[in-house]
Amino acid sequence: MTISRRNVLLGATASAALLPMAARAQTSEVVIGVIYPLSGASAQIGVDAQKAFETAAEIINKNFDYDLPLARGEGLPGLGGAKVRLVFADHQADPQKGRAEAERLITQEKVCAVIGTYQSAVAVTVSQICERYQIPFMSADNSSPSLHRRGLKFYFRASPHDEMYSKAMFDFFDVMKKKGTKIETLSLFHEDTIFGTDSGNAQTKLAAERGYKIVSDIKYRANSPSLSAEVQQLKAANADVLMPSSYTTDGILLVKTMGELGYKPPAIVAQDAGFSEKALYDAVGDKLEGVISRGTFSLDLAQKRPMVGKINDMFKEKSGKDLNDYSSRQLMALVLMAEAINRAKSTDGEKIRDALAATDVPGEQTIMPWKRVKYDETGQNNDADPVLLQYVGGKFVTIFPAQAAVAEASWPMK
């Protein structure tokens, strides 16, 4: 039989077409993009995030006796033991830079999934790019409620959003009121990006539903050089509780300005962000004894789940600090993404997306005080139970809800 040149060419083309499939089946690594602010005012967040993701990758890639997905054994068994490789990108807290970096990660670095981003405003653009390329995006630590309500198919968030966090705050207020504590008036103080705006809206709605009076609602410009006028307004309103939603540099400026102007609210109940960051307490912690912040994580859990303490030790060795509300969520985000990729047995975006949608991980198999991880049709996990933490004697202790608390709330602040 004579073989024509055309048949040879067709055979070569068919062989070439099979090569990517063969390479994918025998993949030795799974490449995941991680996008954070690694320079600029929020750089420390990005540096800490890198250490959290590196800790998670080590747990996945090596063998540890933890009751955590993929900890036992090396790599992803569903992909023949393939190891996770992380590619980091710097969005510099700029949504448009985030958009460009997400596209670069997908088109040039060939990542099969993206995790980010700290600032919710950046998560908006990054998740849109991921949606366009049909690449799963895990919102590790963004808390804006509007993020999962945009009809995106490839967006997932394992941790709570600010409506869930704010509800925990108001549940706490209700409990304290029943105990005889005076909590009637609130001052809201929030920055003007999507994080602060959504947080303020959630708190306004809950205050109306629960019968609390908002005596001042101040929306300020993020990264403002001065907050003197705003703090004067807070001082004049003199609410029972100040509720700030601010990133780290704004939080430090707020507390310093309060000290300068002699404003001491009976209580501060913060929407996390800067108020969970070591940098803020290093700068103004002496003025914040008794501040309360919402969160999703507390080292107290190590008393019930020893692996939490061991994983914290791993992170601390890399970063020089304990896991906090951000780094714990970042670590779990990578574990949960890798767990889905492993079940998908593929690096194909659509297959990973379907595996994420089918996720059902019991809370005991995380480092968080959650019931479980199971995403609804919008990609949100509604079983991520928030906690309230109080800063006492240089560390945070869990004070709410009762089943997670290790201490009674101290009220008012010292």
Q: Tell me the pLDDT tens digit for each residue of 294-310.
A: 988 988 889 889 999 99
Q: How many C-beta atoms surround the C-beta of residue 341 within 10 A?
A: 28
Q: How many C-beta atoms surround the C-beta of residue 91 within 10 A?
A: 29
Q: Is the pLDDT of residue 80 over 50?
A: yes
Q: Is the pLDDT of residue 348 over 80?
A: yes
Mean pLDDT of 77-82: 97
Q: Tell me the whole-structure pTM to 2 decimals.
A: 0.84
**What SS3 class is residue 64?**
coil
Higher pLDDT, 116 or 413: 116
Give the tens place of pLDDT for each residue, 354-393. 999 999 999 999 999 999 999 999 999 999 999 999 999 9
Percentage of the chain exceeding pLDDT 70: 94
Q: What is the pLDDT of residue 26?
A: 53
Q: What are the strands of the beta sheet with 29-36, ordered from one edge?
A: 83-90, 29-36, 113-116, 137-139, 155-156
Q: In whole angstroms, how far apart are CA 25 and each of 78, 82, 316, 347, 348?
A: 10, 10, 36, 9, 11
Q: Distance between CA 292 and CA 206 in Å, rounded?
A: 18
Distance from the Cα of residue 121 to its chain's centroid: 13
Q: Is the pLDDT of residue 334 over 50?
A: yes
Q: Distance between CA 141 and CA 49 in Å, rounded?
A: 10
* Domains of the chain in sequence order: 22-160+301-383 (3.40.50.2300), 163-295+388-400 (3.40.50.2300)
Q: Distance between CA 111 and CA 394 in Å, rounded?
A: 40
Give the tens place of pLDDT for each residue, 5-46. 444 444 444 444 444 443 344 578 999 999 999 999 899 999
Mean pLDDT of 193-200: 90
